[in-house]
Structure 1
C-alpha cells in the first residue's frame, strides 16, 4: 500500500447550461468584433480624401471588399492572407496620399512665393512711380513762383496739372483692375457652386436628383450601421399621372410635379432630404424619425394634396380645375439593412398602397409577412 499516492483531481465537465452561456458569450463577442471591424472600415474611408488623382474611389471600394472578405466565413489561413493584402493596400494608399500632399504643398509654396514677389515688385514700382511724379511736380511747382517768367510759369502749371491727372488716372485704373479681378473670382466661385448644385439637382422641380439620392442613401445607411441612429424613407408616386399628361398635356404635367414638391416642402424639415426618384416618383428621407412620426407626416401630405384644386389655365374662357392624388409607402432603417433592402420594403409598401385603391399611405409593417 502506497502512503503518498497523489490523487488525480478530475475537472468537472461543464453543464449544458454553462456551455450555452459560454456559446452565447462567444457569439456576442464575435458580433461585437464584426461590428467594430465595420466601424473601423467606415472611419478609414472617411479619413481618406476624395482625390481622384490617386484613386480614392477605387481605394474606398477596396476597403468595402476587405471588410466583406474579413467578415465572411472563411478558414483562418485565408482570412490572414486577406488581412495582409489589405494592410499592404492601406499602407500603400497612405504613402500615396502623403506624397500627393507634399507635392501640392511644394506647388503652393512656389505659387505663393511668385505672387509675393510679384506683388512686392508691383507695389515697389508704384511707390517709385508715384514718388518720382510727386517729386517732379514739387520741383516744377517751385519754378512757378518765379514772377519774371510768366509764360513758363503758366506752362509749368499746366504740366503739373497733367502729371497729377495721370496719377489719378493710374490710381483709378488700378482700382478698377482690382475690382474687376475680384468680380471675376467671385463669378468663378458662383459658377463652380452652380455647376456642383446642377449636377445633383432635378432641373424641373428643384429638388435633388436620383444621383444625389443614391449618394445620400449609401452614406446614411453606412452611418446608421455605425451610430445605430435610425431614419425613415417615404416613396410617393402620383396616381394616374399618365392620364394627366394625356388629358392636359406635358406642360400641365410638369406643373403638377412642381406643385407636388411645393406641397411636400411645407411639411418637411430643413434637415430632411427630398429627391425626384424617377418620372413621377419622389423620395423623402427623414433622419432621426420614428416610423409612427413618418406615417403621420405622410398622411398629412397625402390628405393635403388630395384636397387641393389647381387651375389648369387662368387665361382660358372657361376655368378648369385639376386635382390629383398620391400613393405613399413608408419604411424604416433596421439594423443590418442595406440600401437595396430598405428601398425594396418601402417600394413594396408603395405598391400595396396602389393595389389597395391609391390615395393612401401604407407602412412596411402592413406588408404580409
Structure 2
C-alpha cells in the first residue's frame, strides 16, 4: 500500500493493524510525500472494554474482522524520538513506554490485550507485534549509546502476565536494512492481557583476550590483546591490572583502536601476573574494570638476557659490570646489560640504567 500525503504532510510515524513487513518513506518527482507500507491483513478480535483499567476482555471475542490499516502522523516537534516509529499488530496495545531499570537503563514496555478465543469459541488467538524504532529513540530513551552496533543478542525480551509471572513467547530483533532504526518483533503469546518488555541486556563490548605479553625492559612491558567488538556500546579504552608477588600494583590503559597496552612502572627483577579488563561507555555507570575470573591470568616474567662481557681485571672494576663514558653507550656494544641479579633471576635489558 502506497499513500500520497501531499507536499505539506510528512508521514513520520505509522501505527497499524496488520502483520507489518516494512515501511518506506520518500517523495515523488512533484515533491509529494509518500509512505509505502508492506504487510498482510490480520484477523482482529472484538469485544474488549478499553474504557476501564485494567482492560477487560472476554474469554471469547464477540466478533471477528479482517483488517489492514493504520494511523499516519506528522509530528510537530522535529526532535521527537518517535519519528520513524512503525508498529504492526493483531491486538490492542497501549503504546510504548520506557521503564527505568536498576542499572539506570530503560526497558521498552507495552501492554497488549485481546480475548483468548476468536468468535468461534475454539480458535486460540496468538498475538504478534512488530516495532520499528529509530536509533535516536534507542539512544535517548533506552540508554543505548551506539545502537548502530547492536547485535541479535544485545537486547532481551520477555512476555509477562499482569502479575509479573513469565509467559510463553519469542522475540526476534534485526537492523532495518535501510538504516537508521531497529526492528523488534514479539510473537507466540496468547491472551488475555500480556506485558512485553525489551531491555538492553548485553550492550557491553565483547571481552578482549590477552594474546601475548612481552617484557621490553625492566620497567616496561607490552600486552597484545584481541579487540573487543561493540554490541550497543563502543569501546572507549582498554585497561590492564598488573600485580607482583610482593603486592606491587601497576595499572595501564590502551586506546580503543589499538590492540596493544603498554605497561610502565614495573620493578626490576620482579615478575607480574596480569589480568586485563576494559573500560566501557555504555549504560550509565556501565564501567567494567575488574578482571574476569573465568579467564586465566598470564604472567610477564623478566626476559633472560646474555651477560655482558666482564671488563678486564686490570681496570679494577667489579666483575660483571661495564661502565660507559658520561652515561652513554660506547659503540658497538649495547648499553645497559647486566649479569645475574642476587636473587638468581635474570634482569631485563634496561636501556635507561
The two structures have a TM-score, normalised by structure 1, of: 0.21
Q: Which has the higher helix share?
A: 1
Which of structures 1 and 2 has the bigger CA Rg? 1
The two structures have a TM-score, normalised by structure 2, of: 0.21
